[in-house]
Chain A
Amino acid sequence: MRLQTTPDKMKTSSIVILIAIAAAIGGLLMYSVDFSTYDTIQSAKEKQGKYVHLIAKLDKSKPIQYDALKDPNYLSFYAVDSLGNSAKVVYFNPKPTDLERSERVVLKGRMEGEVFRCDNILLKCPSKYKDEKSVLESNISQY
């Protein structure tokens, strides 16, 4: 006795169809991946509430507000992008240690009004890339 009685056998072509279905599901899944975008502060402000990646720099002329004693989960600072626009950034996590020394930051999050609410900060620090020639050279010229 077979598990399935009629149709008794499965055609190889059915397998191909199955694979096609699987591939279609795969395609749909890919489509469901909610990719984000890289934005400037200006274009992020136009996309209120939408998840974006900001590429910016820390505005060193304005204060960084962080006091781990009072609240280790609150950081705010100002970011400027290459077009010169500026926005206040809030981040509910500890301050990344090298924030002040970073050359560039990638901020992931949403613009809410005039404030960028960030849930991830990627720092591009000169020191992180120790394999980069310029870093090694600056290191060696300290001697």
Chain B
Amino acid sequence: MEFLNEHLLPGQLGHFFVLLAFVSAIFATIAFFKSHLAKSETESTAWLKLARTVFFIELFSLLTVFAFLYYICANHYYEYLYAYKHSSMELEPKYLLACIWEGQEGSFLLWAMWHAILGTVVILTAKKREALVMTVVNAAQVFLIVMLLGVYVAGTKVGSSPFSLTRNELEGAIFSRPNYLNFIKDGIGLNILLRNYWMVIHPPVLFLGFASTLIPVGFAFSSLVKKDWGKWVQPVLPWALFSGLALGTGIMMGGKWAYESLSFGGYWAWDPVENASFVPWLIAMAGLHCMVIYKSTGRALRASFVFTILAYLFVLYSTFLTRTGVLGDTSVHSFTEAGKMMNILIGIYVLGVTVPMFILFFRSYKQIPAIHKEENISAREFWMFIGSMILFLAGFFIIAVTSLPVYNNVFGINVADPPDREFTYNKVMVLVAIVVGVLTGVGQFLKYKDTTKKYFLSKIVWPIIISAAIYLVIVLFYPLKYAVKGPGFLFAINIALFACIFSVVANFYYIQSVLKWKMKAAGSAITHFGFTLMIAGMIISSGNKEVISDNSKTGLFIPFDKDPTGRNQENPMENLTLLKGVPTEMGKYTVTYVSDSASPTEKTRVFYQVHFVKKGSGEKSVENFSLWPDSYKMKDNNLTSNPDTRHYLTHDVFTYVSTISVQNEEEDTSAFKTNLMHIGDTAYYDNGYIVLNGIEKNPNNDRFQFSDRDTALVADLTAYSKEGTSYKLYPGLSVSNMTITFLDDTSITQNMYVRFSGISNGDEFKIGVKEHKKLTDFIAIKAYVFPYINLVWLGLIIMAAGFLVSLLHRANAPRPLALVSMVVIVGALIFLFLFANA
């Protein structure tokens, strides 16, 4: 059958370039390795030239594939499954990139592109090691690009092409019509949670980090093959630092995204997907420290090899965890069930790269030089090594717990997540934070090989005094209040906070007193300063996080059903209902749900204006702002909500909509239904009955201020609802100048108006009842205050700056280049983290 209006050319070209990239990767691997094996210089150069040419074809092909994928998504060519699944008409152009990262194929493509781009840098800089490093890079590319092939080998589909056609992949009656495309009006579109500018930026940075961990493996390989053992460490250091920078920043960008667009209320939840990127970073950092030890003392070379390979192994293992659906019930990230084939392909990738590396390593183990001389306990390298081990063990612990679903699958057991997942990690990581804080602080004042007691003590005394003073000020004026997990944990986070403050101070003091502000050498001190500042910020912002939407404090909460289990009173009820237009007390704020408005571009996205007013000591408001959290109904009817946050220098006010009222389109046309009641009589309404308790003449109380000169009557009513709750209602009427004024009363929860409309026969009272058919408009929100959360972002930026200083220093970057890259990268991070969404 001929199908109409299809655009098949871009897909055919795209698929061709996938195949070309795949074949080039195979040839480049062989050619680069041949160049190493070549006996003569000329032969080697010839192979190298060929290999580079093929490699650049591979790079070009990948970029072209990307361009075609972008093209079909941007033009909404729904004949392609990828465009149908991930793009939609209403999608703003800035999110088109995010729509490419959203899919499996797109993210593998991104990863392969980074490998190729980093490979180009290797060709430009690695000199004698180029051939061997590039052998590894291209071998990895082969494994990676296989996943984009989507070709049938002996009846089995290998990989999944981003250019496969909707009509080939899906079954459906419409595909029997030549003009089926006329019926597919729109694509499914990008998940709303991913519609955030961080989703455009953070996956590329994270994948750059993942890709960068391959290069050290290549350098390690080059030394194992050349048998020049420790010679790879010097050239690999800038790469290891780059991994720390890219992966570390990428992870925290993910955290910032979660903070801004997920409603779990924070930047870190120990979700498997988060852990999966954090663990490789921890192990890569253990490796980085071992490399530095080796460079200064000749020790820890074997450990450098092991950690370098392990870091990459865990990058791949993470991919396996997050991409194969094995996590199933444990992750909020609803990733795909990619099928058996994907598991096998990723498995082959893991084994194909790491197993040969380990075989090479263990075969040469005895030959790799190691210093067997005893180590000084006062030597910096000793404590650095301990620190590396701690980082590694921390990573190992995290991945061991995260892998639970894998054990279930492998061993056929049925164990579930611990009850309190976050605390399971936190209680261990707080100990790690203590050790890391102490070591990164003390370590700066230890010298390699040996430290004299006098030097050490003279340097350490001021940081201890200053940090103790700062800590004391915090304890006195702003103590940590996180007592939910018992005094033991509160004590532990206090120690961790002190350790981190100590490290911040010690590293600052080191720059000041030892380095004398020679910033070129200050990379490690800046990094440690930033890292521990970030951890301190995390402890303070999470430890003193405040739920302000506490329903139990507002009086609006009406118990209506006896809770069969007896509600735990300590458990705060964290969601607060806001009726449209009714100001409600919430913590220090008075909040009002003012209005809702549909987004101009996205039809089913609704923004809710929630107005916050904070009263000062007088009646003057000291704070006055509106937040616009939203709710969004996806095409597949999935409802999600994005939070909105008010940023201050010292804290953030964070809120999101947890429930919305379902609007009934019916107009409110019902009229008052009048009941004639004696005192004590009962009248019925839809949801219960009303009792007239009495009539008061000219009442003077909180609500009404009448005097004897007035002519006013107020009915005292009680409404009893079917749910067993009761409400007081006081409708009134007053007569002045021969006109009657009705003072109606309402019960919002019962959607009811009551009117006291008159007296008949002397003792019968006319009580009018009007019920809304329309539900009351309300939202329930959850709101937090995160104190000092800017310390987290500031710490991260400083840490990134430190990595960059070290990296440029180690790579001997020329001064202008160094300055420009510092300004650009740090400037971009400051803008993104602190200003872009403020």
Q: Chain A residue with minimal CB distance to B636?
A: A127
List residues of chain B with CB within 8 A of the CB of A108.
Answer: 416-417, 419
List residues of chain A with CB within 8 A of the CB of B812.
Answer: none
Which B residues, 657 to 689, have Cβ-Cβ distances below 8 Å to chain A?
658-659, 661
List residues of chain A with CB within 8 A of the CB of B84.
Answer: 136
Residue B838 lies at the interface, judged by CB distance under 8 Å to chain A: no
* B558:A70 contact, CB within 8 angstroms: yes
* B376:A9 contact, CB within 8 angstroms: yes
Which A residues, 104 to 130, have Cβ-Cβ distances below 8 Å to chain B?
106, 108, 112-113, 115, 117, 122, 125, 127-130
Residue A101 lies at the interface, judged by CB distance under 8 Å to chain B: yes
* A94:B329 contact, CB within 8 angstroms: no
Q: Which of B123-131, B276-284, B563-571 contacts A (4 or more CB under 8 A)?
A: B563-571
List residues of chain B with CB within 8 A of the CB of A132.
Answer: 336-337
* A127:B634 contact, CB within 8 angstroms: yes
* B454:A1 contact, CB within 8 angstroms: yes
- Closest CB in chain A relative to B586 CB, distance in Å: 13
Which A residues, 68 to 119, have Cβ-Cβ distances below 8 Å to chain B?
68-74, 76, 88, 90, 92-95, 97-98, 101, 106, 108, 112-113, 115, 117
Residue B811 lies at the interface, judged by CB distance under 8 Å to chain A: no
Which A residues, 32 to 75, have Cβ-Cβ distances below 8 Å to chain B?
33-38, 51-53, 65, 67-74
Q: Which of B90-98, B266-274, B396-404, B467-475 contacts A (4 or more CB under 8 A)?
A: B396-404
* A97:B376 contact, CB within 8 angstroms: no
Which B residues, 169 to 194, have Cβ-Cβ distances below 8 Å to chain A?
169-174, 183-185, 188, 191
Among candidates B390, B397, B635, residue contacting A30 with C-beta atoms closer than 8 Å: B397
List residues of chain A with CB within 8 A of the CB of B377.
Answer: 3-4, 9-10
List residues of chain B with CB within 8 A of the CB of A10.
Answer: 374-377, 382
* B396:A73 contact, CB within 8 angstroms: no
* B567:A137 contact, CB within 8 angstroms: no
* A2:B378 contact, CB within 8 angstroms: yes
* A36:B428 contact, CB within 8 angstroms: no
Among candidates B396, B577, B780, residue contacting A26 with C-beta atoms closer than 8 Å: B396
* A35:B415 contact, CB within 8 angstroms: yes
Assuming the A-B contacts A10-B377, A35-B404, A98-B638, are A1 and B184 also in contact, with contact meaning beta carbons closer than 8 angstroms in the complex? no
* A22:B334 contact, CB within 8 angstroms: no
Among candidates A3, A72, A143, residue contacting B659 with C-beta atoms closer than 8 Å: A72
Among candidates A37, A72, A90, residue contacting B780 with C-beta atoms closer than 8 Å: A72
Residue A135 lies at the interface, judged by CB distance under 8 Å to chain B: yes
* A3:B378 contact, CB within 8 angstroms: yes
Assuming the A-B contacts A51-B419, A90-B565, are A12 and B551 also in contact, with contact meaning beta carbons closer than 8 angstroms in the complex? no
List residues of chain A with CB within 8 A of the CB of B396.
Answer: 26
* B174:A141 contact, CB within 8 angstroms: yes
* A67:B560 contact, CB within 8 angstroms: yes
Among candidates A11, A33, A94, A128, residue contacting B638 with C-beta atoms closer than 8 Å: A128
* A131:B336 contact, CB within 8 angstroms: yes
**Alpha-carbon distance between A11 and B639 when the two chains are bound, in angstroms:** 62
* A72:B575 contact, CB within 8 angstroms: yes
Q: Chain A residue with minimal CB distance to B390?
A: A22
* A36:B85 contact, CB within 8 angstroms: no
* B417:A53 contact, CB within 8 angstroms: yes
List residues of chain A with CB within 8 A of the CB of B723.
Answer: 67, 70
List residues of chain A with CB within 8 A of the CB of B419.
Answer: 34, 36, 51, 108
List residues of chain A with CB within 8 A of the CB of B172.
Answer: 137, 140-141, 143
* B188:A72 contact, CB within 8 angstroms: no
- Closest CB in chain B relative to A143 CB, distance in Å: 4
List residues of chain A with CB within 8 A of the CB of B171.
Answer: 137
* B560:A4 contact, CB within 8 angstroms: no
- State how many residues of chain A have any CB contact under 8 Å with chain B: 66
Which of A2, A18, A95, A115: most chain B Cβ within 10 A?
A2
List residues of chain B with CB within 8 A of the CB of A143.
Answer: 172, 174, 183-185
- Closest CB in chain A relative to B205 CB, distance in Å: 24
Residue A17 lies at the interface, judged by CB distance under 8 Å to chain B: no
* A140:B174 contact, CB within 8 angstroms: yes
* B170:A136 contact, CB within 8 angstroms: yes
Residue B597 lies at the interface, judged by CB distance under 8 Å to chain A: no
* B174:A94 contact, CB within 8 angstroms: no
**Alpha-carbon distance between A112 and B723 when the two chains are bound, in angstroms:** 24
List residues of chain A with CB within 8 A of the CB of B184.
Answer: 140, 143
**Alpha-carbon distance between A34 and B401 when the two chains are bound, in angstroms:** 10
Among candidates B397, B450, B571, B577, residue contacting A69 with C-beta atoms closer than 8 Å: B577
* B85:A130 contact, CB within 8 angstroms: yes
List residues of chain B with CB within 8 A of the CB of A95.
Answer: 659
Assuming the A-B contacts A106-B329, A136-B85, are A115 and B636 also in contact, with contact meaning beta carbons closer than 8 angstroms in the complex? no
Q: Chain A residue with minimal CB distance to B78?
A: A140
* B563:A74 contact, CB within 8 angstroms: yes
List residues of chain A with CB within 8 A of the CB of B174.
Answer: 140-141, 143
Which B residues, 418 to 473, have Cβ-Cβ distances below 8 Å to chain A?
418-419, 424, 428, 450-454, 456
Q: Chain A residue with minimal CB distance to B191?
A: A130
Contact with A along B563-605 (1 / 0, CB 8 A): 1110100010111110100000000000000000000000000
Residue B389 lies at the interface, judged by CB distance under 8 Å to chain A: yes
Assuming the A-B contacts A11-B374, A72-B575, A90-B565, are A34 and B424 also in contact, with contact meaning beta carbons closer than 8 angstroms in the complex? yes
- Closest CB in chain B relative to A112 CB, distance in Å: 5
Among candidates A35, A69, A76, A130, residue contacting B418 with C-beta atoms closer than 8 Å: A35
Q: Chain A residue with minimal CB distance to B330?
A: A122
* A74:B561 contact, CB within 8 angstroms: yes
Residue B38 lies at the interface, judged by CB distance under 8 Å to chain A: no
Q: Chain A residue with minimal CB distance to B551?
A: A73
Q: Chain A residue with minimal CB distance to B723?
A: A70
**Alpha-carbon distance between A33 and B418 when the two chains are bound, in angstroms:** 7
* A12:B375 contact, CB within 8 angstroms: yes
Contact with A along B722-764 (1 / 0, CB 8 A): 0101000000000000000000000011000000000000000
Given contact pairs A2-B453, A68-B661, A70-B558, enumerate 5 new A-B contacts (beta carbons under 8 Å).
A53-B329, A70-B749, A131-B104, A139-B635, A143-B172
A-side residues, CB < 8 A to B, are: 1-4, 9-12, 15, 18-19, 22-23, 26, 29-30, 33-38, 51-53, 65, 67-74, 76, 88, 90, 92-95, 97-98, 101, 106, 108, 112-113, 115, 117, 122, 125, 127-133, 135-137, 139-141, 143
**Could you name 7 residue pairs across A and B whose Cβ atoms are closer than 8 Å?**
A4-B377, A11-B374, A70-B558, A70-B723, A73-B574, A90-B563, A90-B565
The 7 closest A-B pairs by CB, nearest first: A72-B780, A3-B378, A73-B573, A143-B183, A97-B639, A53-B416, A127-B636
